[in-house]
Structure 1
């Protein structure tokens, strides 16, 4: 039997270097997705484990499969969420949330309204990208009509878009973070309120102060009206369409598990689609599977609503499977532990551990240029450290989002920053100082870590 070697930081840095460099080349220079670069890193990690550390292929494979099993609940939830999104759009629920949200515009509080509208839309869709690429573009036009600097409006759009992306149960990152940390979806969302709501409140106050100088300007709502007319022409809009998300929230309050609660949301959405929009059974089933599709004649409405469905989640599911395979190999061979141990020598309390997690997420957003990896890799690295300190898994999942999800849009070469720049036509370096939520939230999380506010220790485990 071949003797195994203990992994050193040198062993660990080989696959990490391959991961970062292949992701950087693939995403930034070649414009590819992250999947194949991660697969390349998986091959290198397995090679180091087998030929460098003495593990067998069977042990490597077992480590990968065991780690994948940890994410299976999140994968199932993501698949169900795809059906929820499709059925809620078909039912008119998501269009109604957007329709009513766009009508709260007022010149004196335009920046505040911009952040709130984007927050509502991203809560409804679970996507910061969709929000920025549709409603965000329209709001940029309104801001231009008011004579506001584009980079300030873009900052408000990004802040609002990422508020919903971070909190919405329909968001893939909101599901990914608890899967990495060993938390549950709804516990994760409730725990994020502690850092996200105060941060967003501070951001709104700052937008109110900046926007007050434009209180007397004339508001040009032509772009907004195009979206409103497009939605009204294709859906029967009514406040009663808010009932499906209300039902899901009620089930959460009653502590119904995530999967049954979300499946209920899909069923209710399908019923509402039949009753209020006249959809047939075939339409409901196809939308739940393949997503919602419409040709309304209004490009912004089509871009906003053509999404959802079980199939739409397969890109994220495959990425999770690959990332978990990489993490499983790194963990089984001890390479992940060697990296974490080097960093954790400096993290001897809750505050320093939270800080290390956030800084690691930011570093991966910069080096690997992908927010998913900024959640997955630190999640796998620090999970045991949080357990050893007696900290709840939901603290890790919250911290991964505070550092990984929110900072991704501030980096020009990150996939999120590049997307925001392309649709808003403003460089991330220009809007970053005004993306207040994205800047404030990580700082609030670090302050909580050092003060202990909202942080509880795990209950002692029975022997």
Structure 2
């Protein structure tokens, strides 16, 4: 048998540096997607493994395929979620959520209302970008009419949009994080409540304090009214249309597996589309497969609702597959392990490990300028470290979103930061101090790590333990 060399930190850093450099050039210079740079990094990682470490291609390929198998549940869920989005828009469920959300505007609580509206819209659509680029644009105009600085309004929009995106089962990053960490979608969402909801509440208090001095201003809702009229002209809006998301939430609480729960949501969306909007079965099938399309005559409404469908998830699915190949090669050849061992020298307790995870995600957001990679790279890097420390994978997946998802919008050259600036016409450097949720949430996660709150432990077999070290949930 051929003797393989043990991977060193230098071996591991070669493909990582190539990945970061190629991503940075491709995204910032050519505005390209991250897929091809990841393929370049895959090739470099393979060459390092073959030339320097003595691995054969068959072994590398096996490692990649085995890692892809770990992501299949997330891929299937993403495909179903595309269909959920399509049928929920067709049924009027998403438009109804947006419609009622926009109705809560009030001058005295404008910043609080802005955050909550963007939270609702992002929860309904699963997209912070769509929320900021549509409802967010309208709210910026309302804020200007009230005399509130655009940087403050933009901060509230970004906070709300990223809260909804982060907590929505329809979001691609919300599905990506548990896939990288090795936990389930609904378990991941439930665990995020511990850090994200308190962070939102703190943010709302701060927005309430800031917004109180604008309470006497006159509210100009011209752009909001345009959206409301566009929705009501094209959809039958009814409180009954809120039943599909309510039922899915109930299924989450009852711990029904994600795939059956989301398939039920898709079916309900189709049924409600036929009952409330007069859609035919063919319309439902097309919306589930290709997404929803409308020409309402109101550009903001069209941008908000023309989305969804199984096909819309293929970009993210292909990214996950490539990321898993890269992670699988790095894992199989011991290169990720060498990085983990180097980090363990400094991260000697749970708090410092979570701090290291958050700083790594932030660093990837800064260097690679891509939100997805800020979840993928640290996720694969720290997965074994968390397990070896007896920490449940859902803690890692939560931390990946607390850092990777939320800090991306605060960096001007990151894809998320650049989009927010183009949509809201406010620099991330200007709105970052007021995007309270996006920087409070990582701080709350670090605090929890050091005090041990909501840090679920597991035994060597992966069984969840209570605070006394007794098994409470058996790993299957």
Report if TM-score (shorter chain) is over 0.5. Answer: yes
Offset of residue 385 of structure 1: 1.0
1:50-199 matches, cutoff 5 A: 50-199=50-199
Offset of residue 305 of structure 1: 0.2
Q: Does 1:334 align with 2:345?
A: no
Gaps of 5+ in 2: 464-476
Q: Distance in 2 between matches of 1:256 and 1:457?
A: 23
Offset of residue 77 of structure 1: 0.2
Offset of residue 253 of structure 1: 2.1
Q: Distance in 2 between matches of 1:131 and 1:239?
A: 21
Q: Distance in 2 between matches of 1:461 and 1:330?
A: 24
Q: Distance in 1 between matches of 2:381 and 2:417?
A: 25
Q: Distance in 1 between matches of 2:245 and 2:209?
A: 33
Q: Distance in 2 between matches of 1:169 and 1:106?
A: 29
Q: Distance in 2 between matches of 1:166 and 1:282?
A: 32
Q: Distance in 1 between matches of 2:200 and 2:256?
A: 28
Q: Does 1:403 align with 2:403?
A: yes
Q: Distance in 1 between matches of 2:446 and 2:369?
A: 23
Q: Distance in 2 between matches of 1:392 and 1:254?
A: 21
Q: Distance in 2 between matches of 1:250 and 1:140?
A: 34
Offset of residue 341 of structure 1: 1.1
Aligned to 2:350: 350
Q: Distance in 2 between matches of 1:184 and 1:90?
A: 28
Q: Distance in 2 between matches of 1:16 and 1:377?
A: 9
Q: Distance in 2 between matches of 1:15 and 1:66?
A: 20
1:181-220 matches, cutoff 5 A: 181-220=181-220
Q: Distance in 2 between matches of 1:44 and 1:389?
A: 30
Offset of residue 343 of structure 1: 1.3
Aligned residues: 463
Offset of residue 458 of structure 1: 1.4
Offset of residue 456 of structure 1: 2.4
Q: Distance in 2 between matches of 1:255 and 1:188?
A: 12
Q: Distance in 1 between matches of 2:144 and 2:221?
A: 11
Offset of residue 407 of structure 1: 0.3
Gaps of 5+ in 1: none
Q: Distance in 2 between matches of 1:284 and 1:273?
A: 7
Offset of residue 249 of structure 1: 1.3
Offset of residue 454 of structure 1: 1.5
1:414-429 matches, cutoff 5 A: 414-429=414-429
Q: Provide the TM-score with structure 1 as the length reference.
A: 0.99
Determine helix, strand or coil for the equivalent of 1:104.
coil
Q: 1:460 to 1:7 in 2, by over 3 A?
A: closer
Alpha-carbon displacement from aligned partner over 1:2-35 (angstroms, at most 9, x marks no partner): 4311111111111111100000000001110000
Q: Distance in 2 between matches of 1:37 and 1:461?
A: 36
Offset of residue 339 of structure 1: 1.2
Offset of residue 340 of structure 1: 1.5
Aligned to 1:298: 298
Q: Distance in 2 between matches of 1:236 and 1:316?
A: 32
Determine helix, strand or coil for the equivalent of 2:162.
helix
Q: 1:380 to 1:148 in 2, by over 3 A?
A: same
Alpha-carbon displacement from aligned partner over 1:363-384 (angstroms, at most 9, x marks no partner): 0000111111111111111111
Determine helix, strand or coil for the equivalent of 2:32.
coil
Alpha-carbon displacement from aligned partner over 1:280-323 (angstroms, at most 9, x marks no partner): 01100011000000000000000000000000000000000001
Q: 1:127 to 1:462 in 2, by over 3 A?
A: closer
Q: Does 1:413 align with 2:410?
A: no
Offset of residue 457 of structure 1: 1.2
Offset of residue 147 of structure 1: 1.0
Q: Distance in 1 between matches of 2:254 and 2:337?
A: 39
Alpha-carbon displacement from aligned partner over 1:114-171 (angstroms, at most 9, x marks no partner): 0000000000000000000000000000001111111110000000000001000000
Q: 1:68 to 1:460 in 2, by over 3 A?
A: closer
Aligned to 1:281: 281
Aligned to 2:221: 221
Q: Distance in 2 between matches of 1:438 and 1:251?
A: 29
Offset of residue 211 of structure 1: 0.7
1:260-271 matches, cutoff 5 A: 260-271=260-271
Q: Distance in 2 between matches of 1:365 and 1:343?
A: 19
Aligned to 1:452: 452
Alpha-carbon displacement from aligned partner over 1:175-203 (angstroms, at most 9, x marks no partner): 11111111111111011000000000000
Q: What is the alpha-carbon root mean square deviation over aligned residues? A: 1.0
Q: Distance in 1 between matches of 2:394 and 2:30?
A: 36
Alpha-carbon displacement from aligned partner over 1:379-436 (angstroms, at most 9, x marks no partner): 1111111111111111000000001000000000100000001000011011000000
Q: Distance in 1 between matches of 2:347 and 2:417?
A: 30
Q: Provide the TM-score with structure 2 as the length reference.
A: 0.96
